Amino acid sequence: MDRFNVLFIASECAPFAKTGGLGDVAGVLPKYIKKYGHDIKVVIPRYWIIDKDKYNLEKLIPPLGVPMGIAGEWWCGVYKGYLPDSDVEIYFIDHEGFYGRKDLYNYEDGTGYIDNDNRFMFLSKAALQLSKMLGFKPDIIHINDWHTAMVPHMLKTYYKKDSHFSNVSTVLTIHNMQYQGVFYSGVMDVLGSWEYYFDYEFKGQVNFLKGGMYLSDMVTTVSEGYAREIQTPEFGYGLEGVARDISYKLEGILNGVDYDEWNPEVDKFIPANYSENDLSGKMICKESLQRKFGLPVRDVPLFGVVSRLVHQKGIDILAEAIYRILSLDIQFVLVGNGDPWAHFFFGKIAHENPEKFGCYIGYDNALAHLVEAGADFFVMPSRFEPCGLNQMYSLRYGTPPVVHAVGGLNDTVENFNEATGDGTGFKFFGLNAHNLFNTIGWATYTYYNLKDKLLRLRQNGMQKRFTWDDAATKYLKVYKRAKNKF
């Protein structure tokens, strides 16, 4: 088997700094790459929220010089640590001016920092300089989303004749096509070369993700379905033509689940553990969830949502359908935060329907585990879902998901067959309030009238596994394709 030196560059990494799925992947995938005998080093910014003492970070000497094109040479510090419970080295680029801020990407009003272009060009160039300082000659540079998508350009221009990067190959993973990194064209001066400008050009501006897609040796997304979807106008956000152009080097690889944490047999956050062979503990969890939200302890189907309350997650569709949904003999709990209107709207619904609807605005990890275990069904009406994790958690907890059949949701959930009892959840096609209501109605009917089939449905889901071993094996095949140039 080929052995690779992998430089893994990302804008976030759990548990140090995380806003979404990219952070989860960066915190887990490198451990599995290392497990299979490869050397991998992770590089992220040292954001203000990352406590150097908490994670026992070691400061490297000397400081790192970073050439930034027309802007000259800038300097930064570097800290070294390890991914938790592993020997995978992670390096933090320390620049107070760029990363000493409250949030990773945005001002308090949600708009992106005005210098995000320079912040992440700096991260990308600093990671390359760091690999030279460490004497770590990479075979593969694995970059993630627009924040590091300019690395292939740097390799083809500034570092073109640098022997340290001879024969290096690049793999770009797109975790969310909606975010592309579009800036004024003058950023090419900071990149250090206008060569390949037309690979980046997008309506007179520079689109970092577009350039990365064209210039990387391989491109992946986080599910097979999403790899197909980004080639369409509905999901491509203006880059669907680019995705079609590079389809020959585009692959979808589903993220894995951390079954050490998300496992009802050992979950420390729930009042009773249970397994597919003995689901009695799930009823205890359901009663605990009902009491947690002040709902009557009744034998009715309990639907749960744990989500960011934003447009992507279809929260507006849930809002449109919720009054009809609550006309059914059911209960519903919602945990999440996001758009302010959703906070007020669902808070009002809970006030008006105290016996049927419970709401917690915010995120609480223990409560998220209790919802997965205590709910009878888990609802995910996402407009798009590159991979999704909650539906996979729900399957493991015997909580059949109700999902809009897109991206990773469609890939991981098998539609219920009433005649045979096959399947793992309930899917609807076409995102609107009518379809969402009808599918929740279908799940409600199943709860009241098809008890035996529902038990089988729960057990079917609990037997499914979406592991990081599988994902890492597929990434290693992508690395090999990148080295062989397909």
Instruction: Determine the longest span between alpha carbons in the chain, in angstroms.
Output: 71
Q: Report which residue type is found at 477.
A: K
Which residues are annotated as part of the binding site for ADP-alpha-D-glucose? 18
Question: To 10 degrees, the CA torsion angle through 215, 220, 221, 224?
Answer: 130
Instruction: Give 232-290 as a DSSP string.
Output: SHHHHTT-HHHHHHTGGGEEE------TTTS-TTT-TTSSS--BTTB-HHHHHHHHHHH
Find residue 303's DSSP bridge partners: 332, 377
Calculate the CA dihedral of residues 66, 67, 72, 73 and round it to 10 degrees: 30
364: which 2 tokens? 């609480």
Whole-angstrom distance, CA of residue 13 vs CA of residue 23: 4
Say if residues 5 and 141 touch (Cβ distance below 8 Å).
no
**Cα 471 from Cα 30, distance rounded (Å):** 11
DSSP single-letter state for residue 309: B
- List residues forming the annotated binding site: 18
Phi, psi for 401 (deg, rounded to 5):
-80, 145
DSSP secondary structure letter of residue 416: P
Task: Classify the C-alpha dihedral 214-225-385-459 as positive or negative.
Answer: negative
Q: Peptide bond before 15: cis, by omega within 30 degrees of 0?
A: yes
Residue 59's φ and ψ, nearest 5 degrees, are -80, 130
Exposure string for 109-144, b = 16+ CB within 10 A, e = fewer: eeeeeeebbbbbbbbbbbbbbbbeeeebebbbbbbb
First-to-final CA distance of the chain: 17
- Quick count: other Cβ atoms within 10 Å of Cβ 234? 11
Note whether 178 and 209 are within 8 A (CB): no
* DSSP SS3 for 45: strand
CA distance to 10, 12, 174, 178, 212, per residue, from 145 (Å):
8, 11, 5, 10, 9
Q: Sheet containing 426-428: which strands, arranged edge to edge?
A: 357-361, 331-336, 302-306, 377-380, 401-404, 426-428
